[in-house]
Amino acid sequence: MVPGQHTIPKNHLRFNAALAGYRDAAIFSPMAFGIFLHRTDSIYDDVPSERYQFPKQYLSRAQQCEGDWIVYLEPTKVKNTKGYFAVAKVREIIPDPRHQDMYLAVIEPGTYFELGDEVQFRDQGSVVEQGLLNEQGNISGRAQAAVRTLSPADFDRILELGLGRDEDFLPRIDTARTQNELNDEQQPFQHLSPRDRVKQLTNRAIRDRNFRKTVLRAYGERCAITGLRLINGGGRAEVEAAHIRPVEHDGPDIISNGIALSGTAHWMFDRGLVGLSEDLTILVSRQANDPDAVRSMINGTEKLIAPERPSERPRAEFVKWHRENCFKQ
């Protein structure tokens, strides 16, 4: 070997060759909406906002969803199932370089969108996914498939149910936004085709509304720092959904990047006067002008009151980013 040169491992070359062959030989069917089954305790290497792992038996079905939108579904047998809980766009399907005969559906960055309202497998006694019914009106065996295509009508139905109009969760009116503005933002979801409807998922106001819904539901409408659950006279929760890593710094609109906080706690968190350690102990900045008063606001455990579901708790990478970039030591 010539000094200064580096050899590429043979197994790496084999993988690249296999990947190139796979892409050249793949037969791409017309794009289609799809369903990906996912559960928090899955044995697969899933991070719904980033990737979905599946075995070879589902390859042809997953390929049909390449470049299109899928809906994540938590199975009905899971306790307190979230049902159809999120949508995302599949950027590409690739072989999993770490696991033989396994594949990855790579999610297009920034497209993962958690539904603000729960959509269960059955809605008012009827199956939401009508495409699963056979000629006799019974649920077919397709319902057992972890990866399956989804009709445009069923995709539209799920999105319509998941993007409700609960006024209790709309952004607060006292932030220089008028009621007329909020009403205007709600109109795009009326009389839209499924293809037009997905275009609205990038709307900032709609993403904010659904982020608030999902975060407040995960935290039981309780401030995670103070422990207080305050409800106003109209029955509306007086807590806000705070991003751990802000949107302007590439923070995603996902539950694990969110915390339910009261107005004061939210203000302190955004300004770095409070932060979080790796084990979610609440930190108080030495730069706070009255650190004792800040500590008196913290709940008795001195730790963040996090959701029960592990997948909904703050992810370490976001907590670390806030501690290193926002928190004032």
| Average pLDDT over every residue of 287-295 | 93
Q: Of the ranges 21-30, 34-43, 46-55, 138-147, which one carries the lowest mean pLDDT score?
A: 21-30
| Average pLDDT over every residue of 288-295 | 93
The runs of H, that is alpha helices, within 271-315 are 291-297
320, pLDDT greater than 70: yes
Q: Which residues contact 301 (CB under 8 A, 6 or more apart)?
A: none
22, pLDDT greater than 70: no
230, pLDDT greater than 70: yes
Q: Of the ranges 1-5, 159-163, 233-237, 246-250, which one carries the lowest mean pLDDT score?
A: 1-5
Name the more confident of 173 and 285: 285
**Phi, psi (rounded to 5 degrees) for 130:** -60, -25
In this predicted model, what pLDDT tens digit does every residue of 157-188 receive, in sequence order? 999 899 875 544 444 433 333 344 444 444 44
Strand bridging mode 102-107 / 51-55: antiparallel
Q: How high is the pLDDT of residue 172?
A: 40
Q: How high is the pLDDT of residue 8?
A: 40
Residues of the chain with CATH 3.10.590: 10-162
Top mean pLDDT of 64-73, 114-123, 229-238 is at 64-73
Instruction: Fill in the amino acid letter for 132.
Output: L
In this predicted model, what pLDDT tens digit does every residue of 79-98 receive, in sequence order? 889 999 999 999 999 999 99
Top mean pLDDT of 131-135, 179-183, 301-305 is at 301-305
Q: What CATH number was assigned to the domain covering residues 10-162?
A: 3.10.590
Please give the distance of CA 315 from its chain centroid, rounded to a whole number.
12
Task: Spell out a b/e string for 202-240, using b for 16 or more CB atoms within 10 Å of the CB, else e.
Answer: eeebbbbbbbbbbbbbbbebbbbbbeeeeeeeeebbebb
* Residue (of 70, 73, 86) closest to 34 by Cα position: 70
Q: What is the mean pLDDT of the chain?
A: 84
In this predicted model, what pLDDT tens digit does every residue of 180-222 receive, in sequence order? 444 444 444 455 777 777 777 778 888 898 999 999 999 999 9
The pLDDT > 70 percentage for the chain reads 82
The pLDDT > 90 percentage for the chain reads 65
Q: How high is the pLDDT of residue 105?
A: 98
Task: Spell out a b/e string for 7-43, using b for 16 or more CB atoms within 10 Å of the CB, else e.
Answer: eeeeeeeeeeeeeeeeeeeeeeeeebbbbbbbbeeee
**Phi, psi (rounded to 5 degrees) for 92:** -160, 160
| Average pLDDT over every residue of 22-37 | 66
| Average pLDDT over every residue of 55-63 | 96
Classify 3 as helix, strand or coil: coil
Q: Of the ranges 19-28, 149-158, 184-193, 258-267, which one carries the lowest mean pLDDT score?
A: 19-28
Instruction: Fill in the amino acid letter for 94.
Output: I
Name the more confident of 31 and 22: 31
Please give the distance of CA 17 from its chain centroid, rounded to a whole number.
34
107, pLDDT greater than 90: yes
In this predicted model, what pLDDT tens digit does every residue of 115-126 receive, in sequence order? 998 899 998 889
CB 33 within 8 A of CB 152: yes
9, pLDDT greater than 50: no
